Structure 1
Amino acid sequence: MTEETAAENKAASQPPQVQMRVLGQFIRDMSFENVMAQKGVSGEVQPEITVQVNLDAKKRQAEHQYEVSIKLNLKSKAKGMEDVLFLLEIDYCGLFHVEGVPEDQLHPFLLIECPRMLFPFLRRIVSDITRDGGYPPVNLDTIDFVQLYRNELLRRQAAQAQKSEA
């Protein structure tokens, strides 16, 4: 066997090289509602913040291009009270060029790896918005996108099981 043939066989046996590039990022939709300021209430409050995260990915018309979005809903209440301080909803998107990912691994790749790339930028935006809204900046904890993906799969399986029982 020649060196060239050996190199070709080795290349054929190796999985394709994964390529991912961020083509762009943007805020599709955002809303910050400063409820306490609207009510005219001021003073020191200790915020308690709840965060909801939703992920979505879809194929774009161009070959190997995908749009991935992270939708965050933050609701802040005064500690020990029911008064809402602020509401923040943001839909942050990234455009990605992805090649070399096997078809059966593309869905988890888009909903785990792509959001990981976007998250630091989204964290910064949330921090700036809450600070500019008159509150201490919200520094989001790192989101475990693998666990989020697994939880969504389990939720879908449970829903499917309920549907088939009905």
Structure 2
Amino acid sequence: MEEIQENGAAASAAPAPVKMNVLAQFVRDLSFENILSQKGTAGEVQPDVQVQVNLDAKKRTAEHQYEVVMKLKVESKSKGSDTTLFLLEMDYAGVFHIENVPEDQLHPFLLIECPRMLFPFARRIVSDVTRDGGFPPLNLEMIDFVALYRNELARRAQAQAAGSQRLDA
């Protein structure tokens, strides 16, 4: 009998499972400029595509709700000539209901797990927009949001260290 009570007590002390629901996702802002067709070009072009990703997360007024925004900037230039072929900028947002994530783990959860949920939809929009804009569909490669998060933490720590060195001087 005693063992059952101890195991029962241990089971009830276990943390509640993380709960995450995507309540909404939407394009907040989208811009596509087909610079190639505006300027015209002579001959064959070889595109060189650069992708920049920025993430932003904030608490909403409703309890347990957060908004995460993935900001993509995709620029295609012609290799060798540095002529811009197209520029695509998109802010893709998601509204999430999140419960049972410890406070110290919430920031990485919002900037890693939530963008992972949004990425396939943003990727599809980029593919459709580039195709509809007169280019072959651009299928973005998977983004390592863990590495992106770690790089941002390292960048902030470096900036903070540089700022404190200036204050000491």
Q: If the TM-score is normalised by the length of the shorter chain, which range does it land in?
A: over 0.9
Residue correspondences, number: 165
Distance apart, 1:101 and its partner CA: 0.5
* Secondary structure in structure 2 of the residue aligned to 1:15: coil
- Distance across 2 between alignment mates of 1:17 and 1:35: 49
- Distance across 2 between alignment mates of 1:112 and 1:60: 18
Partner of 1:133: 133
Query: Gaps spanning 5+ residues in structure 1: where?
Result: none
* Secondary structure in structure 2 of the residue aligned to 1:53: strand
* Secondary structure in structure 2 of the residue aligned to 1:63: coil
- Distance across 2 between alignment mates of 1:162 and 1:79: 36
- Distance across 1 between alignment mates of 2:133 and 2:42: 13
- Distance across 2 between alignment mates of 1:78 and 1:25: 33
Distance apart, 1:106 and its partner CA: 0.2
Distance apart, 1:10 and its partner CA: 1.6
Confirm or deny: 8 A CA contact 1:51 1:74 kept in the other structure. Answer: yes
Partner of 1:11: 12
Confirm or deny: 8 A CA contact 1:36 1:42 kept in the other structure. Answer: no
Counterpart code for 1:102: P
Partner of 1:52: 52
Cα distance per residue 1:70-107 (max 9 Å; x no partner): 00001101122111000000000000000010000000
- Distance across 2 between alignment mates of 1:163 and 1:18: 37
* Secondary structure in structure 1 of the residue aligned to 2:156: helix
- Distance across 1 between alignment mates of 2:64 and 2:3: 35
- Distance across 1 between alignment mates of 2:145 and 2:108: 10
If the length of structure 2 is used for normalisation, what is the TM-score? 0.92
Partner of 2:165: 165
If the length of structure 1 is used for normalisation, what is the TM-score? 0.94
Distance apart, 1:3 and its partner CA: 4.6
Q: For 1:84-99, list aligned pairs within 5 A.
A: 84-99=84-99
Aligned CA RMSD, in angstroms, stands at: 1.5
When residues 11 and 43 of structure 1 are mapped into structure 2, their CA distance, relative to the original with a 3 A threshold, is: farther
Distance apart, 1:52 and its partner CA: 0.5
When residues 100 and 42 of structure 1 are mapped into structure 2, their CA distance, relative to the original with a 3 A threshold, is: farther
Counterpart code for 1:49: V
Partner of 1:25: 25
When residues 134 and 3 of structure 1 are mapped into structure 2, their CA distance, relative to the original with a 3 A threshold, is: same
Distance apart, 1:6 and its partner CA: 4.1
Partner of 1:149: 149
Confirm or deny: 8 A CA contact 1:75 1:86 kept in the other structure. Answer: yes
Partner of 1:70: 70
Taking every aligned residue pair, what percent have the same amino acid on both sides? 65
Counterpart code for 1:26: F
Confirm or deny that 1:124 pairs with 2:156: no
